[in-house]
Amino acid sequence: MRISELAERGGVPLPTVKYYLREGMLPPGESVSATRADYGEEHVRRLALIRALTDAAGLPLQRVKTILGLIDSPTRSLFEALGGAVAALPPYPDDSRQTPTDGAEYPRARAALEALGQVYDPRFAAVAQLERALAGVEAAGIPMTADRLQTYGRHIRAMAEYDLAKMPADGRAEQLGYAVLGTALYEPVIAALRRLAHQDIAARLLEPDA
């Protein structure tokens, strides 16, 4: 298809498609003449992924490029690429009041992960995120207890196992796109469902006649 049809299929303005091509975010089409290139279904899929990352997930363009680079780089293992792609998601360390430094220790996160039988590795971006979150509940006077950690941990692990089981069996772009978008965009779904479950349970406990 021509570039104009690609733009239309993707629901993206033509200048935006040209910008993605110039930036190397979309691979070039196949040259069919000096002034025309031909684009295929893989371009449509890549364009849809870029739109999902920028619009639905709201990621900065620089982070989208990082994720696309991981998709296109065959030198890293899938596990390494997944870790790098998910690390491109907010919250970014600069956003927070505590900026973790290289080799920093995260004592609360370490204790929690060891109690859950998971490996503690301070290079995982989510470790710093967990440390800040645990410091927050501690400061608010509702610190994580061993009992709550095991309860949450069990249920969160079951949800995470479901997520991994549903990961596309092959296609690096599909796998990384699923991991990044599923991580970022299901977090607000889970938060909203939790609030509504609280409300439903509280209604049954506190307003049994309503």
Cβ–Cβ under 8 Å, residues 210 and 203: yes
Kindly tell me which of 18 and 194 has the beta carbon lying closer to its own copies: 194
**Coil vs helix vs strand at 36:** strand
Enter the tokens of residue 85.
Answer: 């792609």
**What stretches of the chain show up as alpha helix (H) in DSSP?**
3-10, 14-22, 41-51, 61-72, 78-86, 107-115, 125-139, 146-165, 172-206
Q: Say whether residue 127 binds its own copies (CB under 8 A).
A: yes
Which of 34, 74, 75, 139 binds its own copies (CB under 8 A)? It is 139
Which of 114, 136, 146, 171 binds its own copies (CB under 8 A)? It is 136
Nearest-angstrom CA–CA distance, 79 and 26: 24
CB of 30 to its own copies, least distance (A): 25
Nearest-angstrom CA–CA distance, 125 and 86: 8
CB of 155 to its own copies, least distance (A): 4
Kindly tell me which of 15 and 188 has the beta carbon lying closer to its own copies: 188
Window contacting its own copies (CB under 8 A); options: 13-21, 34-42, 63-71, 111-119: 111-119
Which of 50, 59, 67, 82 binds its own copies (CB under 8 A)? It is 82
Nearest-angstrom CA–CA distance, 48 and 43: 9
Kindly tell me which of 22 and 166 has the beta carbon lying closer to its own copies: 166
Q: Say whether residue 209 binds its own copies (CB under 8 A).
A: no
CB of 73 to its own copies, least distance (A): 16
Nearest-angstrom CA–CA distance, 198 and 123: 34
Report CA torsion sign: 172, 91, 62, 102: negative
Which of 20, 142, 171, 172 binds its own copies (CB under 8 A)? It is 142
CB of 12 to its own copies, least distance (A): 13
Window contacting its own copies (CB under 8 A); options: 25-33, 34-42, 63-71, 142-150: 142-150
